Amino acid sequence: MLVLNDLLTTLPFMTADRADIVISSFWPMLKGGLYYSIPLTIIAFICGMLIALFVALIRVIPQQNKLHKLFYVLTSIYVSAIRGTPLLVQLFIIFYGLPNVGITLPPFTSAVISFSLNVGAYGSEVVRGAIISIPKGQWEAGFTIGMSYLHTFRRIIFPEAVRLAIPPLSNTFISLVKDSSLASLVLVTELFKQAQNVAARTYEFMLVYIEAALIYWLICFLLSLLQARLEKRLSRHNQRKL
């Protein structure tokens, strides 16, 4: 610790007291990220992708009956409403607005719901775009060998669409890590909330917020490396398939 303190004090404008603040605040912020930010991101992304898949399928599969048409209209309104309003407003409606109608949710649950709905709307457009980008020849090939519409979709179209959707969805996941900082506004003690607590106690706002930004940057950088590796693996898979 003393070595790290001495190393930090060699930086411009870094005093011994500021170095102590940086070192002592690192674990609370990292703990907030590991215990709240990352779990919140993962849970919201998984729930959001389930919503996205359902919405995308409703909007892609040819309408069969009145119930399907109703779901199509409802999902279209949902996507338009979520994409047309800020995530912060959606978060506040769920956490601060629902209690006015008798529904009170814990902060973490409110954040999961709002982030999931947001990811679901944007993710559905990514999935839908990937599905409709598959050449019609793929459909015709499935029909030629006697496959039904659903069988062709399940065995041919959907696997291809997943490979196309993974890169943009990876970007969505990384963006969600950063957006998780908004959960601090509904009292979730994630990474940024911990930074706010430290800054309010020490009055070193610039120093603490820069440290928080560096931690976010580190997390997103590691995720970007995983994304690049996944995309390279998918690219090799597609080349072997061709």
Q: Do the Cβ atoms of 75 and 58 come closer than 8 Å?
A: yes
Q: Is the pLDDT of residue 239 over 60?
A: no
- Kindly report the number of other CB atoms within 10 A of residue 56's CB atom: 25
In this prediction, residue 21 carries a pLDDT of 83
Compute the distance between CA of residue 181 and CA of residue 159 in angstroms, rounded to an integer. Answer: 33
Compute the distance between CA of residue 36 and CA of residue 107 in angstroms, rounded to an integer. Answer: 11
Angle, CA of 107, 120 and 131, to the nearest 5°? 165
CA atoms within 13 A on the CB side of 161: 27
**Residue pLDDT, tens place only, 191-219:** 999 999 999 998 999 999 999 999 999 99
Compute the distance between CA of residue 11 and CA of residue 51 in angstroms, rounded to an integer. Answer: 48
What residues does each domain of the chain span? Answer: 2-241
- Work out the pLDDT band at 10, boundaries 50, 70, 90: low
**Residue pLDDT, tens place only, 145-204:** 888 777 888 888 888 888 888 889 999 999 999 999 999 988 888 899 999 999 999 899
In this prediction, residue 242 carries a pLDDT of 45
Q: Do the Cβ atoms of 100 and 134 come closer than 8 Å?
A: no
Compute the distance between CA of residue 46 and CA of residue 106 in angstroms, rounded to an integer. Answer: 20
Compute the distance between CA of residue 42 and CA of residue 25 in angstroms, rounded to an integer. Answer: 24
**Residue pLDDT, tens place only, 119-140:** 999 999 999 999 888 888 887 7
Q: Is the pLDDT of residue 228 over 90?
A: no
**Residue pLDDT, tens place only, 102-117:** 999 999 999 999 999 9
Burial of 131 (0-12, 13-18, 19+ CB in 10 A): buried
Out of 3.40.50.720, 2.60.40.420, 2.70.98.60, 1.10.3720.10, select the CATH number for domain 2-241.
Answer: 1.10.3720.10
**Residue pLDDT, tens place only, 13-65:** 767 777 888 888 888 898 998 899 999 999 999 999 999 999 999 998 887 78
